[in-house]
Amino acid sequence: NAGVTQTPKFRVLKTGQSMTLLCAQDMNHEYMYWYRQDPGMGLRLIHYSVGEGTTAKGEVPDGYNVSRLKKQNFLLGLESAAPSQTSVYFCASSYTGKTAEAFFGQGTRLTVV
């Protein structure tokens, strides 16, 4: 049972470079989320999607873009990485927004130098 899989697990970027983080879930969930986690800040919602072809902004969307072309995949893009985007990124999915149980991927540790 794969659940939620994030790719890559680790990455170092130079300032100004771009990259895409991939999240894939095999549970047929409608809702998917991208969070970033920084020390003392908890999990902050970047963007989310309530279904294939839809996306919406969360608390901290600046500097990120997302796409949900297929139901099982949710991509997070950084067009021009900045040191402030150094963080651990978690993807999560849930059946709907009311079921309370979100399943998380193992995280992507991103360092921007």
Partner 1 sequence: GQSLEQPSEVTAVEGAIVQINCTYQTSGFYGLSWYQQHDGGAPTFLSYNALDGLEETGRFSSFLSRSDSYGYLLLQELQMKDSASYFCAVWGYQKVTFGTGTKLQVIP
Interacting residues with partner 1 (CB under 8 A): 31, 33, 35, 40-45, 48, 50, 56, 58-59, 90, 92, 94, 97-98, 100-107
Nearer to partner 1, 17 or 95 (CB): 95
Nearest distance, CB of residue 75 and partner 1, angstroms = 18
How far, in Å, CA of 11 to CA of 99, rounded? Answer: 32
Give, in order, the Cα–Cα distances in Å from 88 to each of 46, 50, 57: 12, 23, 19
What type of residue is 83? Answer: P
Residue 3 has φ and ψ, to the nearest 5°, of 75, -120
Query: Which of 15, 41 has the CB closer to partner 1?
Result: 41
Q: How far is the CB of 20 from partner 1 (least distance, A)?
A: 20
Alpha-carbon torsion 2, 4, 8, 10, what sign?
A: negative
Nearer to partner 1, 12 or 56 (CB): 56
